[in-house]
A and B are shown apart, each in its own frame.
Chain A
């Protein structure tokens, strides 16, 4: 069985980020990590591999040079293969274009199961997974908090988190499932795994040049949200007087409550 995991490399949460002076882009410190929910997807794929025989787990990533970092992590965790769809570094890429390129690559591989994180932690678009399913014409299920394969029937059961409700879904393979927190706790790579990741020479695939979906949006620029005024520390003799003062300020100054 072929399982593909779509992985994205994102800036580490602690990475320094600056707005370019003219607002045309962001400058990011070179500190990367595998996106949080994608790591869960990799873990889920590895658990299936460990439970069943004849499973191969491939990690696939679209992105510029730094996409290698997320692939390294996937291999360090135990993925068998890593494929890099090399893209140029842009300040803004439409999820639809990314999904289209990923779908083109996946068509050549024909996996039975595709996993991805429910969203990337940098842009939180939550579009690429369902769009890849849409391009391939296969069912999309998620965000999954539980997944079970019925190998004999060639089907799959998933418990999806709808935010306030859950549903248990079933479909036939091939299918694409997005991973929500709670699906599987990502393992810490072994030393051997880390070494393997460091030596990784991913298979490279170029991007197709024709029939790319038309762009729907033009980048106008980047900015910062309105900043917060410096914190006002509330003084008082005891907890009760601080609580009173806080409520007074929330009412009179912040016009709340």
Chain B
């Protein structure tokens, strides 16, 4: 019916038999123009841990513009780094790369392929799953080995109110999308061999006309270790400057509630909740957020939650570790001043 299936299978001519063992744990490295996403290190650290328990290799896969630069930046855990190169095909999720990835999976028979459960990776991983005939799991927050070389995964359901646990019962490779910040970043000192794999860039079914990065929004919300979020209780868009300053002092990102975004006070990319992003920072500060279930669904997996609200009965206090009843007009300047005083 369509273009994707009609494209010829690209011949994979590179022989990796000498350096790559079958049954490895593979990690797809997501990067922007050579700068890897923080989640890449989280995935590689977890892959290393599981691979060591199984006596397997960790293989990192990088593609797109400046893939070589990203490859150098993810040294530490992998035994082997494969750089997929298609000249004139900068988009790492492009069909050509997915085709190459399919061929690699068939030849290299990995035990598992991990990618971040991000907007970008969920563009290609489900389609790779179809092509390989392997069902996948996304939004994974727990990974372990079961008896007899099975894979155990845990993922949240219904906005984090419940968890479901699944065990692999089909054949590998197991395709797993992992939620950012599910696993801690670990340092490693391995220096992996870099292998460049030429990929044929055919005429793709989807043409990229333009590409533009959202600028000036600070660290990506889902990857920030501190999120300072504001709700209606902030009073207006201008008071978010204080949140920007606070986030800057804490090395964090600014988030917002749905009503704040719907009022145009903040961009949609900062929305936390059911119709926005799900975040799990070490510290989540809810400033003037009432705590509607729609919001809770996006932040309840945060490690420590601080809620500040004028209303002592605000629902958000049911989902917080520390609560402060105070007017934000007074509290935010005081908090910023205290943080500055402590340097």
Give me the interface of A with B, judged by CB distance under 8 Å: 11, 13-14, 17, 19, 26, 36-37, 92, 94-97, 99, 107, 110, 118, 121-131, 133-143, 157, 160-172, 174-175, 181-182, 213-225, 228-229, 231-234, 238-240, 242-244, 246-247, 249-250, 254, 256-257
Contacts and interface: CB of A to CB of B under 8 A. Distances in A.
Given A139-B4, A233-B323, 6 more contacts: A13-B274, A17-B158, A125-B139, A169-B209, A215-B169, A243-B335
A225 B163 contact: yes
23 contacts: A131-B126, A134-B126, A137-B2, A137-B4, A139-B3, A141-B206, A163-B269, A166-B214, A167-B210, A174-B2, A181-B275, A182-B268, A213-B133, A216-B135, A217-B137, A219-B165, A220-B152, A220-B165, A223-B164, A225-B156, A231-B323, A238-B330, A242-B331
B191 interface: no
A65 B301 CA distance: 32
B321 A217 contact: no
Given A131-B130, A165-B211, A217 B135 contact: yes
B294 interface: yes
B338 A243 contact: yes
A233 B133 CA distance: 52
Contacts of B6: 137
B21 interface: no
Contact of A171 (B32, B125, B207, B283): B207
The 7 A-B residue pairs whose C-beta atoms are closest, nearest first, are A216-B135, A134-B130, A137-B5, A138-B2, A216-B170, A239-B330, A130-B126
Nearest to B222: A163
A222 B283 contact: no
Contact of A130 (B122, B312, B324): B122
Contacts of B210: 167-168
A168 B2 contact: no
B127 A140 contact: yes
A240 B334 contact: yes
A228 to B, nearest CB: 6
Given A122-B157, A138-B4, A215-B135, A96 B163 contact: no
Nearest to A241: B334
Contacts of B206: 139, 141, 169-171
A148 to B, nearest CB: 11
A222 B164 contact: yes
Contacts of B214: 164-166
B274 A181 contact: no
B138 A240 contact: no
Contacts of A244: 338
A234 B324 contact: yes
A14 B119 CA distance: 26
Contacts of A143: 119
Contacts of B127: 130-131, 133-134, 140
Contacts, number: 279
B338 A19 contact: no
B193 interface: no
B307 A231 contact: yes
B331 A163 contact: no
A9 B74 CA distance: 41
A257 B162 CA distance: 29
Contact of B306 (A128, A172, A218, A250): A250
A232 B323 contact: yes
Contacts of B337: 240, 243
A92 to B, nearest CB: 6
B97 interface: no
A165 B334 contact: no
A147 B322 CA distance: 44
B342 interface: yes
A168 B174 CA distance: 32
B138 A169 contact: no
B63 interface: no
A230 to B, nearest CB: 9
A33 B121 CA distance: 28
B327 interface: yes
B187 interface: no
B161 interface: yes
Contacts of B5: 137
Contacts of B207: 169-171
Interface in B86-125: 91, 117-120, 122-125
